[in-house]
């Protein structure tokens, strides 16, 4: 009778351990899946914003080529050169192998470059007045 009780308690302990380990593995797999999904979204965000940035850079370089040369023009072209460098640095990264943290750094760099293009557009006087934006 005593052996039967030990066997039953050992069985229950084993079952509990297996369940706890299974839940831990499930939790780890779920967390890993969520991290991969978050990374995919972040990568997509970097790619979309980089594409927008490249189009804006092309547009502003064309505007700068036709703009009168003055101190604002010089500052705008300096900023556009920095943006071009940022674009090349971001494009050089292999998005398949870099970490989530590195993608975050790239997104920050792209957003900073977008701010530089906005400032360049203002310096080149290539912004439409508010009243021209109405339909």
How many whole angstroms separate alpha carbon 43 and alpha carbon 58? 23
The pLDDT of residue 8 is 67
Give the residue from 35, 38, 48 showing the smallest Cα distance to 90.
48
The pTM of the full predicted model, rounded to 2 decimals, is: 0.76
The pLDDT of residue 53 is 96
Per-residue pLDDT reduced to its tens digit, 22-67:
999 999 999 989 988 999 999 999 999 999 999 999 999 999 999 8
What radius of gyration, in Å, describes the C-alpha atoms of the chain? 28
As a whole number of Å, the end-to-end CA separation of the chain is 90
C-beta separation of 47 from 81 below 8 A: no
Strands (E), the chain: none
Query: Which range (4-8, 55-59, 64-68, 88-92) has the least confidence?
Result: 4-8
Report whether pLDDT(134) > 70.
no
How many whole angstroms separate alpha carbon 64 and alpha carbon 120? 9
Report whether pLDDT(1) > 80.
no
């Amino acid at each position: 009778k005593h052996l039967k009780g030990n066997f039953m308690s050992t069985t229950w302990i084993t079952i509990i351990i297996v369940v706890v380990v299974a839940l831990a593995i499930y939790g780890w797999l779920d967390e890993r899946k969520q991290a991969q999904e978050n990374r995919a979204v972040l990568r997509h965000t970097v790619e979309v914003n980089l594409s927008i940035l490249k189009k804006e850079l092309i547009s502003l370089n064309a505007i700068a080529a036709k703009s009168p040369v003055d101190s604002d023009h010089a500052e705008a072209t300096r900023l556009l050169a920095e943006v071009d460098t940022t674009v090349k640095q971001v494009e050089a990264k292999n998005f398949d192998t870099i970490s989530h943290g590195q993608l975050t750094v790239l997104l920050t760099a792209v957003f900073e470059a977008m701010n530089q293009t906005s400032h360049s557009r203002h310096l080149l006087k290539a912004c439409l007045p508010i009243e021209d934006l109405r339909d």
